[in-house]
Structures are given as C-alpha cells and as structure tokens.
Amino acid sequence: MKHDRILLAHGGGGTLTHELIEQLFAPAFGLKELEDSAVLDDKLAFTTDSYVVKPYFFPGGDIGKLAVCGTVNDLAMQGAEPLWLSLGMILEEGLPLADLEKIVASIKATAAEAGVTIVTGDTKVVERGKCEGLYLNTAGIGRVVADVGSTHVRPGDAVIVNGNLGEHGVAVLSRREGIAFQTSVISDCAPLWSLVQSALVSGAEIHAMRDPTRGGLAATVCDIAAASGVGIWLQESALPISAEVRGACDLLGLDPLNIANEGKVVVFCRGTDAGRVLDAMRAHPLGRGARVIGEVTEKPKGMAVLRTAIGGERIVDMPTGEDLPRIC
C-alpha cells in the first residue's frame, strides 16, 4: 500500500478507499464481490454502514435521516426491498439531550417513510471530546427482487440519473465550521426504494444501479466501468447540476462530479428501454428530473469519459478521496 498510516482520504470512497478494501480487507475476509450490499442465497441482501457527518444537522436533514436513507438505498441498489434495520449509537458525553431527541424522531419518521422496521440496536457513550456529538452505525436486510450488479453493464446501455447532482455535499458544506456560506441548496437525502421499484416493474431491462454517494458521480462511473470492463461516456450538457451547486463548487474549487449525493440513483439499462425507465421515474416525486446522461460502449475498456459542452473530451478520474471529508 502507498501509505503506512490511515489518512482521511481512505474514507472518501475514491482510490485510497479502494486500495484499503482491495489490498487489506478483501484478502483478509475472502471477499470477492464488492457491492454496497451482499446477496445471501439469492433471496436476502445484507448491508452495513456508519455515519460520521459533520455537522449532524444540515439543510434538508440530519445524521438520523441520513443513516436510514443511506442503508435502505444500499439495499435498493442491489435490487432488494428494504425490510429491517439495526441501529448502533456512539454518543459523546455532554451531547444535548434535545439534539438526541430530534435525531431519534427523525430516524423514526424516515424509517416509516422507507417502510422498514428497526429491530435491534446498541448504545455506547464515550468521553467528552472523543466523537463530536454522536456517530451512528446501521445494518440492513432486504428481500432481493431483481438481479442487478456492477458487472452486468454492457455496451449499448443508457446511463440515467433521477435528478440534480451534488446537492447533499453542498448542503453539508454550507454549514461546515470554517467554510459556512449562504445558499438555498438543501440535501437530497431520501429513501429511494419506491423510486427504484417503479423502474424495476416498468418492464425495462435494468442491469445495474448505484447511488453516487462518496466520490459522487465520478466514483460511480469509474467503479462500474472497471467492474464491467466497458467504456462509459457522459455528456456534460446533459448533466443536471443546478446553478447554485455550480456556484458553490466554483467558490470552493470543487468538481460537481465528485460531490456526494444521498437521494440519487444512477441506472444502467438497455438503451432501447431508456424511455420506459424515464417514464417510470418521472411519474415518481423523486424522479421528476430524470434524464439520460450518457451511454455505455465497448471502449475505452474500464474507463469513463466526459464529452464536454465545448466539444472536447476528458477522462473522468476516480477521486483520490473526498474533497472535504465527513459528508456522510
């Protein structure tokens, strides 16, 4: 490995995260398929995640809403209907009880919206100054209803996203101590199963789905291209990025393609079925902004390329880590 100590970038979902998983964790535990969820005997999917977002309240959500959405979305991306969650809480001595009550209420409301039941959990308290308020860990179990995966993408597929990119990351950064700025952007944090289900039952041949969280759209397309051995071409003029998000990224020197999302799904479907997927998504409140943003080709194998608005081309690189950490 390139480093002898853990860096913040190792948790950013980019090249250093992949290095850590592929060179340390996967060999140690015999892991072969590195999806966001594990499929157990083709019937159940299982996933786990931890949440350390800073600050734990942000425009459009909080760490509790984020924990439920992130977990059920990981299951949904594997074609699984989310059913049950666990909830582990690491609380810091001195955390205001009023904040904890708000977060618990948010978890309850979001779980009800997502149609999942929290069935078990755990609580630990650490000394003051050890965890900046609270961290959450969740695990989720869902029922598999569709066979989708990163290795199923093939040339001729269309690439579709359900709406504006980069909103979660910008919303969190707008409240980050030392960076805070005024913006109307709110997080897109939302449970996606009902949207995914509408696409799955549309009759379209869907090969893969991925929620572009850490590392944003760039990490997603680079990961899928490498896993399926295909080329993915994105059209810059088709990317749904609001003026507010572009302005914030320009201000901070960030690439909107690398910014985290928490309510978006990137769908890879047979090209001739793109219309069916778009119709199904646009009929759902979370998919009204759905559009085709690219296509899959045979070459360049294992790479993603952006066709720029001025007619050029540039390689989409896997981010090293997050431009700024602690987004989820």
Q: What digits encode the pLDDT tens for the residues 284-310?
A: 999 999 999 999 999 999 999 999 999
* pLDDT per residue as tens digits for the range 135-154: 999 999 999 999 999 999 99
* pLDDT per residue as tens digits for the range 62-91: 999 999 999 999 999 999 999 999 999 999
Domain 33-144 identical in fold to domain 150-316: no
* pLDDT per residue as tens digits for the range 218-259: 999 999 999 999 999 999 999 999 999 999 999 889 999 999
CATH topology of domain 33-144: 60s Ribosomal Protein L30; Chain: A; (3.30.1330)
**What pLDDT score does 321 carry?**
66
Q: How is domain 150-316 classified at the architecture level of CATH?
A: Alpha-Beta Complex (3.90)
The pLDDT confidence band at residue 12, using thresholds 50, 70 and 90, is confident
Helix (H) or strand (E) holding 47: strand 44-51
* pLDDT per residue as tens digits for the range 92-145: 999 999 999 999 999 999 999 999 999 999 999 999 999 999 999 999 999 999
156: number of Cβ within 10 Å: 13
pTM: 0.93
Question: SS3 letters for 95-164?
Answer: CCHHHHHHHHHHHHHHHHHHCCEEEEEEEEEECCCCCCCEEEEEEEEEEECCCCCHHHCCCCEEEEECCC
Instruction: Parse the chain into domains and list their residue ranges.
Output: 33-144, 150-316
**Mean pLDDT score of the chain, rounded to an integer?**
94
Residue 216 CB partners (closer than 8 Å, separation 6+): 165, 166, 169, 256, 257, 258, 259, 260, 261, 319
The pLDDT confidence band at residue 179, using thresholds 50, 70 and 90, is confident
